[in-house]
Chain A
Amino acid sequence: MKVRVQSAAFDFGAEANAFAAGRKDAGAVVTFTGIVRDLARGDLDRMEIEHYPGMTEKAIEAIARQAQERWALKDVLVIHRHGVLEPGDMIMMVATAAPHRVDAFAAAEFLMDYLKSRAPFWKKEVTANGAQWVESRDEDEAALTRWSE
């Protein structure tokens, strides 16, 4: 399991290749990348992502461990950025490796659902007209309940 919390950009292709390369134990690798989306008005200047150093890494590792307990995974990678990002920048990625694709897909979705509302990150959208903290959505919380059914 690898967890990285960083302000620097990451090379998605290189990360995905390094994660998948040389695996003989896993028949399936699933990756997901989150990208800073512009606002509907097209006026997002930047997104500022705050986090809780120390807790962030622990929380993500705990989520990744839960995924490993739940599915037959050979490996998990999570990279999540903080700091100032622009529309189109990659915020984060997850990769899962498993013998079979069903487990790799499910674990990747699980990781995404939990990272959204259980990892201590806060996004602020900044436009020429001011800044606003992104509010959590009820759907994000509801997404977690399906994993406890």
Chain B
Amino acid sequence: MIDVMYFAWVRERIGLPKEKVETEAATVAELVDELKAREERYAAAFADTTALRVAVDQELTDFDAPLAGVREVAFFPPMTGG
């Protein structure tokens, strides 16, 4: 079970900030494919992953990052701090 979190417009498009996901996905990209297959709102949010960033256990990483032993995955658009 992994906590999957969404921020900014990804959160708005999917319609929730956080959910628990039961998955066998080996990588972030595989998790994204599983989510896209669920419902249109996920497919829309993940349509262009080049427009998204991902953090695994609160560290920025890439979509090919492995998920073994991971507790938390977060998807969001490029950050706009400062």
- What residues make up the interface of A, taking CB atoms closer than 8 Å to B? 34, 50, 52, 54-55, 58-59, 80, 91-92, 112, 115-124, 133-136, 141
Contact = CB atoms under 8 A, between A and B. Distances in A.
Nearest to B78: A136
Contact of A133 (B5, B9, B58, B81): B9
A50 B77 CA distance: 12
B8 interface: yes
26 contacts: A52-B7, A52-B74, A55-B59, A58-B59, A59-B58, A59-B60, A92-B81, A112-B82, A116-B79, A116-B80, A118-B79, A119-B79, A119-B81, A120-B7, A120-B74, A120-B81, A121-B80, A121-B81, A121-B82, A122-B79, A133-B9, A133-B80, A135-B77, A135-B80, A136-B77, A141-B78
B55 interface: yes
Interface residues of B, number: 17
A interface: dominant SS: mixed
A107 to B, nearest CB: 15
B42 interface: no
Contacts of A52: 5, 7, 55, 58, 74, 76
Interface string B1-17: 00001011101000000
